[in-house]
Structure 1
Amino acid sequence: MERRSLLRAAVLGGTSAALGGTLWRGAAYAAPAQPGTGPYGPLGSPDANGIRLPSGFTSRVIARSGQRVGTTSYTWHNAPDGGACYADGTGWIYVSNSEINPSGGASAVRFSSTGAITGAYRILSSTRQNCAGGKTPWNTWLSCEEVDRGYVYETDPWGAKAAVRRDAMGRFKHEAAAADPVRQVVYLTEDVTDGCFYRFRPTTWGDLSSGTLEVLVAGSGTSGPVTWARVPDPSGATATRSQVSGAKRFNGGEGCYYANDTCWFTTKGDNRVWQYNAAAQTIELAYDDSLVTSGTAPLTGVDNVTGTASGDLFVAEDGGNMEICVITPADVVAPFLRIDGQSGSEITGPAFSPDGTRLYFSSQRGTSGSSSGGITYEVKGPFRA
């Protein structure tokens, strides 16, 4: 049975026995995704941009660090990282963080209905090492500082409103965020080797100025039921991950993505993709490179993650062989694209245009291996609806 079908069945069954502690042995959970033939076929030869793509897909460069974006007067930031897309009338906006310290922040590129670049501008300044983040249902961008006692900043993708620091969401080495509109919480990852997985419950949904920060509490295994406990002091005077006994540890939290009662998040220290079933309050592994049963693991250096309406997950590599891999609802993992000649970089910020036909992402350090060499791309093609 496919993992998502299994979880759906468990929720519909509603039996308390399904949440028993014995499930930490993983007996009732599906095996993590395994290598196979991807839905888009094999990768072709490198194109003019050095990107290997399946048949039917094309790439273009959107922006380069230190250079003007298109015909605009705006200079693109260094070390582009986490990103998201927003509908903008008949066009859309792509937002991108800057992972430099100091003076990180975030920028945006505006596109017309045809995909032409019509503007670029700064939406956040004077912050530190803005790594990933997340999109809210009310169309703001949560930009996360990946530094000790870092903050989350809520920003306006249109650049019309000043960014607001959201202290109640906790001070720790933030990585990514994903909003769950059903339970009205925001999930948060922490990028340290003994980090935690958090959720923030706003006092009022849509207003992140106040609320409760909670940490996931679970057993020592890789699958089973979980609970949540309040973090007593979100200010981080004592590290948030050290305040709650029994908080589950995750080895280097990275990307985070929510859809259909599930939050997927990645941990780079052990090359795992986790999935938290919010309806059943259980976790399990969606992918683990050490559990690949045949051949070479196609996905290593797991990092940012996004998804499509088809249920496909797209996971970017930090290192590895510079691929974005797809994990299908049938639990098959396969390369979707590969960037050649940029082994000193990492892939960041994958996000789909609102119509699902274009994928945006960056090579954070490009061909130079330096933060000033970042390149932001667009891939267009027949993505599964």
Structure 2
Amino acid sequence: MERRNFLRGAVIGTSAAALGGTLWRGAAVADPAQPGPGPYGALRPADANGILLPNGFTSRVIARSGQKVGSTSYTWHSAPDGGACYADGTGWIYVSNSEINPSGGASAVTFSSTGAITGARPILSGTRQNCAGGKTPWNTWLSCEEVSLGYVYETDPWGVNAAVRRDAMGRFKHEAAAADPVRKVVYLTEDETNGCLYRFVPTTWGNLSSGTLQVLKAGTATSGSYTWADVPDPDGSPTATRSQVSGSKKFNGGEGCYYADDKVWFTTKGDNRVWQLNLAAGTYELAYDDSLVSGGAPLTGVDNVTGSSSGDLFVAEDGGSMEICVITPDDVVAPFLRISGQSSSEITGPAFSPDGRRLYFSSQRGTSGSSSGGITYEVTGPFRS
């Protein structure tokens, strides 16, 4: 994949393309990532929060489901899932979905420049099983319903503007969203065993009220070229969106989705794969496949994905070893952290603070194994840039 050349310029907290496609337009398809020594070294014994981290990194608990967030009066939601960070003056905001049905929604925590919690609030309510989502370049949060004929809701992390349902983005079992400011589209994953990868082309960039929903068409191989075709009926009824276009490529359980530098990475949990779209070249390939690694696979149960300014991908596990693994630009995959004592949970919502020094994520069901036992964490340390 030769990601080392075109991911170095990825900017934390934005979807801006920092490098041009001409640098890698002729790059050949490479083998998927293989296990090797991670850039941060071996994991040390579990800390007081039960998290195994590399040397130099520390963790803290930000919020627990059913309990007040810090010294605020706001009670944190159950089953925390997809998340993102937003710059807020000298501080920042972390947004998190609630994957419960009914009454899902999303919440936000505000931090000062020193990382102190200064506020917390709801930003979406009355929705269903809000799983993942995505950040827009205009600083809204797209919260996606992981239910049949689910919707995408556009929300305000500051809680000033009311959330808006974006019907034009299609009705299906939504997972994640990733905005591409170069092509002015939003990519969308679908959590079905025969799901598709979509993109939404707004009539006006920055306004998601109208536009065209398209689906990716490609062969059955794990690499090749692709095209996009309009979905005739984004409403998905009576015919599901994934069944409307002949030749649409099927993916086994679409999960996380991340854009940087003319590439989109997305995960499929049914086959433990990370896929890469080379957007300028119009090709796709495998970035990782647990069945193709040499020896034991360090990454299974692939789920949410995010990236850092160094070009590293951070992939959270739904089950597996309860790890967040890193895939480097040199195509090496290794554990970055592991949560101990929570085998009945999954890791969700990885997102970096705007300065890239803090990584937020949740254990959706915590030590209890119940959606009411979710825990949201922060890890601070020498992330490479």
**What is the TM-score of this pair, normalised by structure 1?**
0.95
Asked if structure 1 preserves the Cα contact closer than 8 Å seen for 2:6 and 2:261, the reply is: no
- State the aligned residue count: 373
Map 1:13-52 to 2 at 5 A. Answer: 28-52=28-52
For structure 1, list consecutive stretches of 5 or more residues without a partner in the other structure.
19-27
> Where does structure 1 differ by over 6 angstroms across 4 or more consecutive aligned residues?
6-10
Aligned equivalent of 2:198 = 198
Shift in Å, 1:281: 1.1
SS of alignment partner, residue 291 of structure 2: helix
Query: Which residue in the other structure is 1:256 paired with?
Result: 257
Match in the other structure for 1:22: none
Corresponding residue number in structure 1 for 2:67: 67
Provide the aligned C-alpha RMSD in A: 1.6
- Structure 2 residue identity aligned to 1:348: T
Give the Cα separation in 1 of the matches to 2:43 and 2:143: 33
Native 8 Å contact 1:195 1:241 kept in 2: yes
Aligned partner of 2:167 in structure 1 is 167
* Partner SS state of residue 290, structure 1: helix
AA partner of residue 273 (structure 2):
R
Structure 2, unmatched stretches of 5+, are 8-18
What do residues 61-104 of structure 1 show as CA deviations (whole Å, max 9, x unaligned)?
00000000000000000000000000000000000000000000
Residue matched to 1:271 = 272
- The two structures have a TM-score, normalised by structure 2, of 0.95
Deviation at 1:2, TM superposition (A): 2.9
1:283 corresponding residue in structure 2 = 284
Distance in 2 of aligned mates of 1:121 and 1:13? 43
- Whole-Å Cα distance in 1 between the matches of residues 204 and 318 of structure 2? 36
| Contact 1:11 1:280 (8 Å CA) reproduced | no
> Residues of 2 paired with 1:174 and 1:6: CA distance?
29
| AA of the residue aligned to 1:326 | V
Contact 1:223 1:284 in 2 (8 A): yes
Deviations 1:243-298 (A, max 9, x none): 000000000000000000000000000000000111111110000000002x2100
Confirm or deny: 8 A CA contact 2:81 2:97 kept in the other structure: yes
Map of 1:243 onto structure 2: 244
5 Å-filtered alignment, 1:338-353, equals: 338-353=338-353
* Structure 1 residue 37: Cα displacement: 0.3
Contact between 1:6 and 1:30, CA under 8 Å: does it hold in 2? no
1:242 aligned partner, one-letter code: S
Partner Cα distance (2:95, 2:21) in 1: 37
Question: Which amino acid in 1 is paired with 2:281?
Answer: A
How far is the alpha carbon of 1:224 from its aligned partner?
Answer: 1.0
**Cα shift at 1:10:** 8.8
Residues of 2 paired with 1:62 and 1:347: CA distance? Answer: 15
The CA distance in 2 between the partners of 1:47 and 1:353, in whole Å, is 22
How many percent of aligned residue pairs carry the same amino acid? 83
Aligned to 1:21: none
How far apart, in 2, do the equivalents of 1:220 and 1:9 lie? 29
Structure-1 separation of matches of 2:89 and 2:384: 24
Give the drift of 1:29. Answer: 1.4
